[in-house]
Amino acid sequence: MSSSSENPTVTERGGGGGGKDRREDDGEKKEGGGGFIEKVKDFIHDIGEKIEEAVGFGKPTADVSGIHIPHISLHRADLVVDVLIKNPNPVPIPLVDIDYLIESDGRKLVSGLIPDAGTIHAHGEETVKIPISLIYDDIKSTYNDIKPGSIIPYLVRVILLIDVPIIGRIKLPLEKSGEIPIPYKPDVDVEKIKFHRFSFEETTATLHLKLENKNDFDLGLNMLEYEMWLGDDSVASAELTESATIEKQGITTMQVPFSFRPKDFGSAVWDMIRGRVTGYTIKGKIDVDTPFGNMKLPISKEGGTTRIKKDDDDDDENHKTK
């Protein structure tokens, strides 16, 4: 290293001999004091650079390699931010802190700090996963204009605080944008109940279900699970695997066959059989695919009314539900 050749210069400037008058020497110190300090700083900086070059130290790099949504429901969305960090140094480097922020149109949705986030191996790379949860109730209560069923833009900001030997602590700022939904549960209605064969022992019918998608994105239906009550009597329940697309802000109708034994039920079923209006309740859930991942959304309606419709009846409004 050339540091040994620079040492005499520093020593000479720091000494007081050499045959000069003390007053002249003091004058030079006063006049050149600032330059002396700067030269010492430059010397130390040069020594640091030479050490850095000799042992191969350098700044790590990082990039947001992806954002995943492993879970999303009516209540929250769980995001995982993948950050790829590359360490070019011959020794492991500690990841001191991870500071993150998610905002939408300049408004903070959530922020946090992850301390002691791990170590990046020497001459290696590692994907650090940052788990973040968005609670929809918190977002909607803070920003009234964010409505259920909408899609909002987001920006993830991440700052990595890394401790690098020789260089010291450095900050690596990262960001990545995307979109995330605020899901809204579909509306469900029993459009009509069509009876095919009636007996006290077994009655067969078809349930015409109407599903309305109130979201700004399509729902790819995979499975429907439901239970239906007429009055206080549970008359039908099933889990159906059926593929269908419910377009955004659209409606689809499903025909669900079922059977029951009228003699086992109470007055609500008999009122319907006699042609009277009967109250119904339906509850369940649907499994759907979306552009943001799989969702399981609840469906429910209480206080609906319906009447019987036979095979030979015309599609009259009196036989449909409300």
Give the domain CATH number at 200.
2.60.40.1820
Residue 4 lies inside a defined structural domain of this protein: no
What is the pLDDT at residue 303? 76
**pLDDT-based confidence at 207, cuts 50/70/90?**
confident
Residue 101 lies inside a defined structural domain of this protein: yes
- State how many domains the chain has: 2
What is the pLDDT at residue 35? 74
What is the pLDDT at residue 11? 31
Q: Spell out where 34-73 has E strands.
A: 61-72
Closest-CA residue to 288 (of 135, 75, 134, 73): 73
Q: Which of 182, 210, 241 is the last residue of a domain?
A: 182
Are 194 and 302 part of one and the same domain?
yes
Q: Which of 182, 214, 236 is the last residue of a domain?
A: 182
Q: Which of 182, 217, 234 is the last residue of a domain?
A: 182
Tens-place pLDDT, residues 94-118 = 999 999 999 999 999 999 999 988 8
- For the chain, the 3-state helix, strand and coil shares in percent, each to the nearest 5, are 20, 55, 25
Closest-CA residue to 29 (of 12, 8, 43): 12
Q: Domain of residue 150: give its range.
A: 56-182
pTM: 0.69
CA dist., res. 120 & res. 95, Å (int): 7
